[in-house]
Amino acid sequence: MTDVAVGGGHDVLVAAVDWGGTWIRAAAVSGGRIVRKDRRAKPPGLAEQYATVADLVLRTTAQLAQAPAAVGVGLAGVVQEGIVGTALNLGFTDGTDVAAALRPHLPLPVHLLNDAQATALGVAARWPHGTTAVLTMGTGIGGAVIRDGSLDPGLGGAGDFGHVVIDVDGPRCPCGGTGCLERLVSGRGLADAANALAGDGSSPVLAARAGSGRVLHAGDLQDAAGSGDQRAADVLDRAALALSAGLRTIVATHDPHRIVLAGAALAPDTWFGRAVRTHWDRTRPRWARTELHHVPEDEDAALRGAASYALDKLAAGRPGS
């Protein structure tokens, strides 16, 4: 267990959970600051995962000056009005009332949201006013729309920018559509492209790296493009164009004050990050006043965001799912 500086005074204490496919992390949060945090590897079974979530929450909030008022839980799956539709990495395959399943283990109000939404709330906290659209790029593409510091979830899936349609004739997506942004550009997609270029020998740089027996990832594709490998550069450039088209859609639908790009691959000093900004500058709507920002990796953003979500629900008088 890790302790960090305690937040001030009489701020409401809430617990936060980041329930991912590899780790389950929990924290006690007061005044927007993490008071204590802990993590455990995600066990395989759902029953064990429920018990782990509850135990981590109780451990991180034990022996503090006040008891937590609620729990915010960000999890890697589709969450609509408190019901988890699918979360294959966790073991959910149909509509599940996770808060109800947690209730025997955890006697606190529980408020659920998607993990990308939780991360977005955490990173957007530095811009408390106006409309902020956050696009996260990791294994997949996610995001959220934040208005004056609060999540605008729609029925739960608003801001899931990975499923903006970029190419109606594009590859089939597990969501049921075709040509979704996530199928054209994501950490998983770029890694697949790197391994394909290595496999057919069209990228000597990537073929040499794969020859050592290592499975390639998106960073290898960026390294190859940076070294002058034209095939890698072409793949990344097409992906950057697709992402800039997604940014246009965000502007057209939300006209936000800012779009925040979250993820190491989107940093302005990377090959891909520069290409995204080049295409954005060329293709952005002429009337758009939206600013483009980047935030570095922040593993605690999802915890802070989940806590913020729980606080918003408490302020609105929502007793919990």
pLDDT tens digits along 27-77:
999 988 999 999 999 999 989 999 999 999 999 999 898 999 999 999 988
pLDDT tens digits along 276-313:
999 999 999 999 999 999 998 888 999 999 999 999 99
pLDDT at residue 291 in the model: 95
Residues 6+ apart with CB under 8 A from 11: 30, 31, 32
pLDDT at residue 108 in the model: 93
CA distances from 262 to 89, 117, 189 (A): 22, 12, 17
Best CA proximity match to 294, nearest among 250, 263, 253, 255: 263
Model confidence at 139: pLDDT above 70: yes
Average pLDDT, whole number, for the chain?
A: 90
CA distances from 95 to 20, 22, 83, 116 (A): 18, 22, 6, 19
Model confidence at 169: pLDDT above 70: yes
Q: What whole-number percentage of the chain has pLDDT above 90?
A: 72
320: confidence class by pLDDT, cuts 50, 70, 90: low
Domains of the chain, residue spans: 2-122+299-315, 127-295
Fold of 2-122+299-315: Nucleotidyltransferase; domain 5 (3.30.420)
Whether the domain at 2-122+299-315 and the domain at 127-295 fall into the same CATH topology: yes
84: confidence class by pLDDT, cuts 50, 70, 90: confident
pLDDT at residue 271 in the model: 95
78: confidence class by pLDDT, cuts 50, 70, 90: confident
- What the block records as the tokens of 242 is 């697709």
- For residues 231 and 92, the model is more confident at 231
Q: 127-295 — its CATH code?
A: 3.30.420.40
Model confidence at 92: pLDDT above 80: no
| β 110-114/71-75 pair status | parallel
316: confidence class by pLDDT, cuts 50, 70, 90: confident
